[in-house]
Structure 1
Amino acid sequence: MASQRPAARPLSPHLSIWRWGPHMTVSILHRVTGSGMATVGTLLLVWWLAAIAGGPQSYAVFHMVFAEFGKGALGYIFGVGLTLSFFQHMASGIRHFILDTGAGYELNSAKRAAMATFVFSVLATIAFWAFLLGAK
């Protein structure tokens, strides 16, 4: 049987021909923040449930770790990071909801909406932590 050359098929565009934009960053961050929060949340939930199932001593250790961890700088960094991830994921989800209606696909409006998610997430995180620290 004679070998046949495969038909020339169109190639998909490579990343090198696309200009990087904020909408691409928001899309990637949406996936990263969602996966990160799901992973961290699952681990904490399993640890909490295991601590409850382990009895009062086990739960006291869990509570002590979180009480001490939350007082240090690392605890604040972790908390601010999770808060920023939450607000970024939420803002990006709202952006995707609006895109699902068919609106916002024009290049300028897509860029503005992507930038708005960054601005919102940073401002909401600052406001949230200002409220928490001001309540003490």
Structure 2
Amino acid sequence: MATRPQVRPLSPHLSIWRWRVHAITSITHRITGNGMAIVGGALFTWWLVAAASGPDAYMTFLAVARGPIGVIVGIGLTWAIFQHAASGVRHLGMDTGAGLSIERSKLSATLTWIFSIPATAAFWLFVLLR
């Protein structure tokens, strides 16, 4: 005779936990680090291989990089760099014991976003308008 699997209740945290800016910033820090390593690493490798393979391969790379998809990926990677760097500075400060209160943690997390988004916009305005 087969036994029925035991039905366990769901954890109550699923109904009471809320997303907060410092949690989102911490998760984003991990995602941007991995994204830069994977996407940035793949693009850097493609660039090196294209440069070593000759003018035709390099021109193909440049055509993609300068096209709409390349610009979108470039903007995303630029934002990831600024966000990850700002979050890294935040974590460096917190590692010293500063800013560990909930209010300070929320403020420093919010400041990473206030820095990274305009910094990305300013960088790309500079690149596209020069």
TM-score, with structure 1 as normaliser: 0.77
Q: Counterparts of 2:127 and 2:50 in 1: how far apart (Å)?
A: 27
Name the structure 2 match of 1:3: none
Residue among 112, 123, 126 paired with 1:128: 123
Shift, 1:50, TM fit: 3.8
Cα deviation, 1:41-80, whole Å, max 9, x if unaligned, reads: 3223333444455xxxx23244212211133221211111
CA RMSD, Structure 1 to Structure 2 (Å)? 2.1
Whether the 8 Å CA contact 1:87–1:124 is kept in 2: the answer is yes
Name the structure 2 match of 1:40: 39
How many equivalent residue pairs? Answer: 120
Matches within 5 A, 1:37-116: 37-51=36-50, 58-116=53-111
Rg larger in structure:
1
Whether the 8 Å CA contact 2:32–2:80 is kept in 1: the answer is yes
Shift, 1:26, TM fit: 0.4
Moved over 4 A (4+): none
Q: Counterparts of 1:105 and 1:14 in 2: how far apart (Å)?
A: 23
Identity %: 52
CA gap of 1:29–1:76, structure 2 versus 1, over 3 A, is same
For 1:22, the aligned partner's letter is V
Name the structure 2 match of 1:9: none
**More displaced stretch, 103-112 vs 62-71:** 62-71
What secondary structure sits across from 1:103 in the alignment? coil
Matches within 5 A, 1:14-33: 14=13, 16-33=15-32
Structure 2 stretches of 5 or more lacking a match? 1-10
Structure 1 stretches of 5 or more lacking a match? 1-11
Whether the 8 Å CA contact 1:48–1:62 is kept in 2: the answer is no
Shift, 1:91, TM fit: 0.5
